[in-house]
Structure 1
Amino acid sequence: MSPSRIQAPAPDGLGQERRERILDERTRELALRRRIRKAAPEGALYLVCTVGRNVFGLPLTCVARALPAQACTPAPRASPELLGLFGHEGRTVAAVDLGVALGVSDPRPGITAAGCFVLTRQEEPRTALRVDAADAVVRLAPSQRPEALGREAGAGFITAYADLPSSAVPTVVALLDVDKLLRTLSQSSSHPGV
């Protein structure tokens, strides 16, 4: 006589059939979660800005808000990218021309009220980047490393490039490392607090 297997009742009180049904349900739920996660858009949110013919993406985590550009008080002995200082919500803000800082524009003394200011989240020194336009907040996934497209002005602050998905014409966005840019500007500035 062959010994028959006696199955002891499960300590949780569930029968074998019910246990298998629960495991099957959980397996289907996990598979669905993976499919949903894969279908979710990849990349991070960027504020897409234009400076001349250039299109830059500023990580939204570095952006406090976009403001209309305004006249600035010139700072003595300031570097060419520093447009000047202005007040916002009771604090002094240094206005930096992003194009000049990246080497894609020539300094334009006295031109501060054109375009808009992108106020960064950096607390000290408080800084706003002047751009021609803050176009949209878009989820962008890096498609190419900066080395892939060669060296260009400002390349030291470009982390990658991405294709702008909603553009009627193919547009490549240079994704910037804003923190690195601000650290470099702060270290090279002859003006205290900038």
Structure 2
Amino acid sequence: MPKVQRERDPLLNSSPKSSGGSAPPSEIMPDRHVSLSQLSTLLGRDRNTIARWPDKGCPFIQRADKDSNIPWIFDVAAVVKWLEDQATDKALAKYESAEGNATEADGKRRKAVAAGIREEIALLKDLKAVVPVDYVLTSISKDYAEIKSIIMKIPDIIAANVDSAIAAHVRRVADKQIRDVMNTLQVKITASDEE
């Protein structure tokens, strides 16, 4: 591009003004309306890509017509706003459907998290950090049966160590007391199992 044409085009002329800094936007671009080429330069996008945007809803001031030699005219601020809206919509679409529900990707993510939790629990079981409830209940029931069997022998042991005249009476009293306690304990264990 010849230097003279470059100096006249405010979008292509980025040389600093005499003040030592860049010119304010109002001096570089006094009007927000730009051509397709200028918009392409401003946004760093290919002209053909930008030419397809109006078909996707991008706002424009004037549609090009090659036969009449009419160029595209765009409002830079409106185009930038449209691009921001497109990016926002695209980002939101990753997380929810049009109805606002969780997307399939979100469902897959949740399913993967649940699978991870299940694997972690299985690993903890393998490391014996977590014990299955059925295993604990079976162990407690087995221990309870063994303890009950030993405790139920206590009346006979007591009766053998007292005077034979009262041994039968002592055995009946001790047996009744132990059975009452064991029945109460059995009800408590059964009630705990149901909770």
Q: TM-score range by the shorter chain?
A: under 0.3
Larger radius of gyration, structure 1 or 2? 2
Structure with bigger strand share is 1
Structure with bigger helix share is 2
Q: TM-score, normalised by structure 1?
A: 0.24
Q: TM-score, normalised by structure 2?
A: 0.24
Which structure carries more relative contact order (alpha carbon 8 Å, separation 6+)?
1
